[in-house]
Amino acid sequence: MQMNDAQYWITKLDLAAHPEGGYYKRTYQSEESITDQQLSVRFNGERLLYTSIYFLLQSHDVSHFHRLKSDELWYFHAGSPLTIHVILEDGTYKEVKLGLHLDNGETPQYLVPKNSIFGSSVMEKDTFSLVGCMVAPGFDFQDFELFTQDDLLAKYPEHHAVIQKLAYDKLPVFV
C-alpha cells in the first residue's frame, strides 16, 4: 500500500465506515463538557466542548447531506481536493473547495456553520480526500440529522442537481 492509495490511510489510521458516507475515526475529544444552558444551541444533556475526527472520502462515494447543531471546522490533510456543498440556514447554496491549491480557489480549512445542511464530494476521479473535522460543541449522534431527496427538494427545489447528487433516495437503516 502507498500513501496515494485510500486503503493505506483507512488501514493506517484505523478508519471505520461512517453513516453519511466515507470513513472516520475520532481522534480527540475535550475532557470538559458544557450544557445547552450555557450556549445558544439546544440539545439534551451535556456535550463535550469539542471533538475531532479524521474523515476520508473516496471519489466513488459522497458524504450525504446532513445537519449538525454545532459548527464544524474542516481541515485538508492529504489526497485530492474536496468540495463541501452547503445549504445555509437562509437557503443559499455555497460550494467550497477544500485543498492546498490556493491559486485554484481552494482553501486549507473551512467552517460549516451550525444548522447548515452539508455534504461533500471528491473533486478528482479515482482518488480520495483525507480531511480533519472539529465540532464544537462536540459531536453527538443525537445532533446528527440525515436527509432524503424528497425532504430537501420540497424545501429547496432550486438546488435540485446537488440534492440529487448528495441526498439519499431513502434513508438507510443503521444498526
Pinpoint the alpha helices (H) of the chain: 6-12, 149-155, 160-166
The reported pTM is 0.90
Residue 91 in grid coordinates: 437557503
3-state secondary structure of 58: strand
Could you identify the residue written with the cell 453519511?
20
CB 63 within 8 A of CB 79: no
**Count of residues making up the chain:** 175
Task: Over range 41-57, report the average pLDDT.
Answer: 87
pLDDT at position 175? 41
Phi-psi region of 69 (alpha: psi -120 to 50; beta: other; left: phi over 0): alpha
The whole-chain average pLDDT of the chain stands at 92
- Pick the residue with more confidence: 43 or 68? 68
CA-to-CA distance for 78 and 47, rounded, in angstroms?
29
Distance of CA 130 to the CA centre of its chain: 12
Residue 134 in grid coordinates: 472539529
pLDDT band at residue 38 using 50, 70 and 90 as cut-offs: low
